[in-house]
Structure 1
Amino acid sequence: MSALRADAARSDHAPPGIDSTTPNVARMYDYYLGGKDNYAADRACADEVIRQAPHVITMAKENRLFLGRAVRYLAGEVGIDQFLLQRPGTGP
Structure 2
Amino acid sequence: MYSLLDGYEGQLEAEVHVSKGYQGACKVILEGSWGKVYFAVLPCFYEAKRVMGLALNPHVGGFYGVTIVETNNDITHERAEDWLLEH
Give the alignment's TM-score, normalised by structure 2. Answer: 0.29
- Point out the structure with the larger helix share: 1
Higher RCO (CA < 8 A, seq sep 6+): 2
- Point out the structure with the larger strand share: 2
Give the alignment's TM-score, normalised by structure 1. Answer: 0.28
